[in-house]
Structure formats: structure tokens, C-alpha cells
Amino acid sequence: MVAPIGAPRVLLRRLREIMAEPESPQTRLDRIVVQIAAIMVAEVCSIYLCRKDGSLELFATEGLKPEAVHFTHMTRGEGLVGRIAETAEPMNLSDAQSHPAFSYRPETGEDSYNSFLGVPVLRAGHTLGVLTIQNKARRHYYEEEVEALQTTAMVLAELIISGKMANVEDVAVEFIHQNHLQLNGIPLSEGIALGHVVLHEPRVVVNKLIAEDVALERGRIRTAISKLRLTVDDMLARGDISATGEHRDILETYRMFAYDRGWGDRLHEAVATGLTAEAAIERVQNDTRARMLRQKDPYLRERLHDLDDLSNRLLRILAGKTTAASKEALPDHTILVARHMGAAELLDYDRKKLRGLVLEEGTTSSHVVIVARALGIAAIGKISGAVDKVDTNNAVIVDAITGQFHIRPTNEIIKAYSDKVRFRAKRQEQYKEIKQQPALTLDGKKIDLMVNAGLLVDMPLLEESGADGIGLYRTELQFMVSPTLPRLNAQKENYAKIIQAAQGKPIVFRTLDIGGDKLLPYLRHQKEENPALGWRAVRIGLDRPGLFRRQIRALLLASEGRELRVMLPMISQVSELDAAVELIHKEVAFVKQHRNFSSENLKIGIMIEVPSLLWQLDHILAKVDFVSVGSNDLKQFIFAADRSNVMVNERFDTLSPAFLKVLRQIVLATQKHDVALGLCGEMAGRPLEAMALIGLGFTCLSMAPAYIGPVKSMILSLKAAEIQAYILSGIETQKETLRPALEEFARTNEISI
């Protein structure tokens, strides 16, 4: 006998009726197995649930001996049921007893049953239990029967966690988000933040599982899939990589899945079993998650993750929630949690409410992290599985000193962190005390400490930090937050306000550094295989002289005759500098027609980010007023290691002799040409790295404002001559990194790092 067509829908209806009746969880379970056996035309139906100790316990059965209920236990992996729990995959056998995994339990009396169908009871990819049916006749169950049992298992899972079917305390449901959990990652932007979760990609909670009208649900899923395809196509066509923080390969994977017939078919089949469109997505998603949790190959795991993301998008389309979380009202102490995010997306949030950022991916020098640092929010990265382990509004703590992420912390943990926050506030007070002091080493070397900025709102930090000026003003941030290309006047007014806010302190305006991972939504970019090596920064400026000249004009007009420092990013050869300078001088000539402007006041510099410059230093230094090392990009190109790729970013250390020798070479060349030198990459803001840089001969460092205090207190306890001697011998060694040696140096010399 085979289960009749339509059995799943009848089953779901019966389940709903049983749930509506006021009965104890055990009675419900007992009635459910009877119903499933009857409708699936099975002689046996059993439910095993996972206990907290990891074992599987028979909770209810129709057909096996009743005395086995709550008596039969097996460990995960043991027997057919244990195997299903472990692999989270169904098993469909015509002769169960001859299967090598079969484990005979005399107390159940199951020896007379030959065919066996078991499916995992899954919730969010985790196995809650196993649902089985058995028959005496030897046969394979049909695909429709497997589907029907899986759908039933899904509804059971919902009922279990709602406590309607078993005592939740008895069942291993630790993934239900209620307990404290600590996940470990890496600090990205220093700080400690206590607050509440906002999911950057909000999750839709599926409440209604059973469909009223299957045809209607079928139509809903079809429409949603079409919409999803359109959005993914659109994202790819726009090359919308930086805006969403998604790499092209993720978008390509999205597209592949969105058009995958297999995926679509599975969703339709799940709807056909009587689930709502939302529940059908969740059913298919459950299988994906189960596979994801068990997948060892990182590449395949990532692709399953992509499919999971795509399912979430589909759920959001169905729920009509397609606007970004940044457009919703935020709690006062928002901690954003995301798999990944683009710099522009982070800037979309109300910064007054933001306290912390948690990324499953994310590296120290990716642009979203630079923005987080500029906004002064604590950020941690490489927190694998963070998104799945939190719910919207959960209380969380971001410890961006150690890289810990506490989810639903206990009162003791909250108290410990509140103490830490107070301690840090005290330290900030101490930094304030040294704020007015010049950054002089113990042997009298003055180091200029500058800040990196990019938005007008950063400007108060210049004064608060006590910095000497702005060593890097990333002009592209204004472009990234604007929905359209800022016009000449808007640019001019913005620069004028910045100059005014700096109150006479020097500002290095870097011309637009877009491209790579900083795309402007309103500017069309070609698809690029290697955007970091592609059409970006000054390369765009030279190919789009109108854009470049407009910015220069805005800067010249805003400076109103005062000193203006303009810095060109990503210069790779001397001729690019020449071409850019020519364009700049055309603008100077234009401005001079209308206003008083002395060319004396214009200082032109470049960033050293591209290794080719290392062999042209003599030529290029003869033509510039200043240079600044962009160590983020320079390092990525020297080591051929993508700065935003978690797999390779930490592989090579900035404190390796190889990299430090490159920096030393730049110091010597600038000394020879008497050209002012600075460094404005992220390494400048880390006290240990800053100590090494001073040893190499750097006297100007530019960093996020929060690091001025810690770096200055390092400088006040350092003897420049000693670190210089130490590091110059260190860089001649063959070591992979000088980090441990420099830490030891700092310890023995009592340098505050």
C-alpha cells in the first residue's frame, strides 16, 4: 500500500487539528504518530527526539512496543536513526535490517518490519529529532512520500520548539536563541560596545506554515522567484559591489542559484505538500543549512551560505520587506550584525545610534572597517556564524579589544563589561591630559600626529584628539554618501566647511579614490575581474578629466587663497603625475582669471601605494611637495594579498622585514630629496607599528582619531634612537615578522603600547 496523493495536505490538516485541542504534549505526540501512520499507510510511525546529552530517545510510537517509549535510546551516529540525526539526510530503505548501520533493539519489536523511511526533524539546519515510518512489505518509498514526511517533520520541529509537543527542557534545542554565547573573532575597530542587535539583512520569521490555498501559494512563490531574479540581475548589471559589500563572485553565485531549476523545483514541490510559500522556503533552507553545517570544504560551505542568503532575500520579497535595515528606526545602542557589508551601506545608517559592528567576514583594512573606525564604532570581524546565532534586539556586547562577541550576556558579564567601559573612559581621560603635549620622544624627536577623516562630522575629532592636522582627507566619502554626483557648488561648500572647521590646521585633501571596492552607485563601472587592480583612483581621474577638474576647481575655490594640499592616489608612473599636474594647473589658471590665487599656496603630493613607484622614486620625488605612504594598498600589492579577503589578509604581517625594508627605502629616498613624508594607512594607528615606523625614520603619522592618544602615549615613552638601531638591524634578518621581537623591545624598555 502506498500513501494516497494529497496525503501530505491531509496530514498537515490533522496536525493542525490535534494542536488546537487542549492536551498534554505526550498525548499530542501519541496522537500524531497514529495519524501519520494512518495517512502514510505505514504500520509503524515513531518520533525520536534529541536529548540535551546528545542521545536520541524514542518519544512516541505507533506500531513498535509501547514499553520502548522513553526507554530506547541511541547515540548520534548509532543505528539508522542515529545516522539520520548525524547526517541530517533522509534514509529510504527497502530492507532496513540488512543495512550495515542497522542496530537491533529487541525491546522495540521492530524485527518484522523491512522497509524504513526516516527523515530528520530539522530546525535552522539543526537536528531536533528523527521521524520514521516502517512497513513489513519490502519497498522503496516514493519521492512524494519522502517529501510528505519531510514536510510533516518540519511542522513537528516548529511544534517542538514552541513546547507544544514535548517538554522543551528535555530536548536539545540550544540553538533556540536564549542562552549566553561567546563567539571569537578579531578586533577591527577598537572599542567596547554594549547594545542591541540590528540585523543588516533582517530575517523574516515564518509564522504560518500550513497553506489555506495551495494554488495561491504556488503563485506567490513563482512571483517571488521572478522578482528575486530581477533584483539579482539588476545588482549584477549595476556592478553594485561596494554598495552591498558583496563580491562579484557572490552575486554570480546568487544568479546561478536564482535561475537554478533544481532549487525552483524543490520550492514548488515543498509548496505542493501543503506548506505556505514562506514555509516551503524554510523547508528547503533547512536542508541547505544542514548541509552547510556539515560541509568541511570552505568553498562549498560558502556557496551554501550564499544559497541561504538568497533564501532570506526570497523570504523578504514575500514579506514585502525589501528596504534596507538602515531605513528602519534603530534602537539607541545599535549593534549591526552582518555577514559582510559595504562602506557605503554602513554610512547609510544613523551614526548617532550606532555603537558596534559585527561582521562574519571583514578585515582590518577593508573600507567598511575604515569607515567604522572613522565613525568611532567598535567593530569585530571573522565571527563565523554570528548572523545565525542572534535574533533582532538581542542584548550583545562587542569587545573589539579581544575580538569577543557576547550574545545574550549574563548579568555578571554585563557588569564586568560596564566596569571595563568605565576603565576605558578613565584611560581616555588620561589621553586628554596629554592632549596638549607635543608628541615628543624621550630623546626629543617630534612626531607629527595627524588624523584621517572623510566627512564633515569627523571634524570635531580633530580638535578633541589634539592632532596636528588632517593627514588624509578621503574626499570620496562625500561622494559615497550622496545619492547623486555632488555638483561643483556642493563640493566647494563642503570643502570650505572642512577648511573652516580645521581652524588653520593643515589638511591633505586626497582627490577621489573611487573604484576598487569603492564604487559610486550613480557612476557606471565596467565589470572587472580584479577591481583592486583595475580602473580606480587617479586612473579614473585622468580618463574622466571633467570629474577630476571639477573637484580641483571646488578645492581651489574653497581654499580662498590659503594653503591647499592636494594628494593624488594610486599613482603608478611619473607620466600620470605629469598629466594630473597639467590638469590641476589648467584649473589654477581658470581660478586665477576670477580671483587672487598664488600658486605658491598649492602643494601637490602623491600616495605611494603602487610598488612600481619604488623604482621611480628619484624621478617622482623631484616633482612633488610631499608623499604619503598608503600602507593598506602598498601591502596588498607587495604581498599580492587582497586587503579585504579574510583568507589572505592576515597571512602576511606589516611588521615583516620585507615590508619594513620597502618603507625604509622610501624614507631614505624622501630624505635625499628633502620631500615631506607621512604614512596614512591603518598601521600608523597601532602603537607597536607606529613605534616601528618611527624607528624607520617616519616623523609624520596619520590615523583614525581614536588612536592619537594611544600612539602619543607610546611616543612619550620611546627613545627614537634606540628603536631606530633595533629595527634597522631587525630588517636585515630573515624572520617572517619582527612582531614578537618588537613586543619584547617595548616590554623591556617600558614603552606604552
Query: Which residues here bind ligand PEP, judged by CB under 6 A?
Result: 370, 472, 474, 513, 609, 630-633, 680-681
Of 253 and 365, which has the nearer Cβ to ligand PEP?
365
Q: Is 471 in the site for Mg ion (CB under 5 A)?
A: no
C-alpha cell at 391: 535574533
Q: Which residue sits closest to ligand PEP, CB atoms considered?
A: 630
Pairwise CA distance, residues 710 & 461, whole Å: 15
Are 349 and 377 in contact, with CB atoms under 8 Å apart? no
Helix H or strand E segment including 10: helix 7-20
Q: How far is the CB of 575 from ligand PEP (least distance, A)?
A: 21
- The binder of 125, among ligand PEP, Mg ion, none, by C-beta within 5 to 8 A per type, is none
Q: How far is the CB of 608 from ligand PEP (least distance, A)?
A: 9
Q: How far is the CB of 340 from Mg ion (least distance, A)?
A: 20
Q: How far is the CB of 368 from ligand PEP (least distance, A)?
A: 11
- CA 621, chain centre distance (Å): 39
Pairwise CA distance, residues 567 & 561, whole Å: 18
Q: How far is the CB of 152 from ligand PEP (least distance, A)?
A: 54
Stretch that binds Mg ion, among 84-92, 276-284, 290-298, 622-630 (CB under 5 A): 622-630
User: Which stretches of 248-353 are assigned E, i.e. beta strand?
Assistant: 334-338
126: left (phi over 0), alpha (psi -120 to 50) or beta: beta
C-alpha cell at 139: 519497498
Of 158 and 633, which has the nearer Cβ to ligand PEP?
633
Are 435 and 465 in contact, with CB atoms under 8 Å apart? yes
Q: Is 633 in the site for Mg ion (CB under 5 A)?
A: yes
Q: How far is the CB of 628 from Mg ion (least distance, A)?
A: 10
Of 517 and 609, which has the nearer Cβ to Mg ion?
609
SS3 66: helix
Of 362 and 630, which has the nearer Cβ to ligand PEP?
630
- The binder of 681, among ligand PEP, Mg ion, none, by C-beta within 5 to 8 A per type, is ligand PEP
Of 417 and 495, which has the nearer Cβ to ligand PEP?
495
Q: Are strands 56-62 and 73-74 parallel, antiparallel or unpaired?
A: antiparallel
Q: Footprint of Mg ion on residues 543-572 (CB under 5 A)? A: none
Pairwise CA distance, residues 598 & 319, whole Å: 61
Q: How far is the CB of 300 from Mg ion (least distance, A)?
A: 33
The closest of 390, 418, 410, 400 to 185, measured between CA atoms, is 400
- The binder of 370, among Mg ion, ligand PEP, none, by C-beta within 5 to 8 A per type, is ligand PEP
Residues 168, 174, 177, 181: is their CA dihedral positive or negative?
A: positive
Q: How far is the CB of 286 from ligand PEP (least distance, A)?
A: 41
- The binder of 474, among Mg ion, ligand PEP, none, by C-beta within 5 to 8 A per type, is ligand PEP
Pairwise CA distance, residues 723 & 746, whole Å: 9
Pairwise CA distance, residues 705 & 725, whole Å: 29
Q: Cα 540–544–545 angle (5° rounding)?
A: 115
Q: Footprint of Mg ion on residues 579-618 (CB under 5 A)? A: 609
Of 308 and 609, which has the nearer Cβ to Mg ion?
609
- The binder of 680, among ligand PEP, Mg ion, none, by C-beta within 5 to 8 A per type, is ligand PEP
Q: How far is the CB of 459 from ligand PEP (least distance, A)?
A: 18
Among residues 118, 274, 531, 630, the one that binds Mg ion under rule CB under 5 A: 630
Residue 431 has φ and ψ, to the nearest 5°, of -65, -35
- The binder of 61, among Mg ion, ligand PEP, none, by C-beta within 5 to 8 A per type, is none
Are 672 and 444 in contact, with CB atoms under 8 Å apart? no
Task: List contacts with Mg ion (CB under 5 A).
Answer: 609, 630, 633
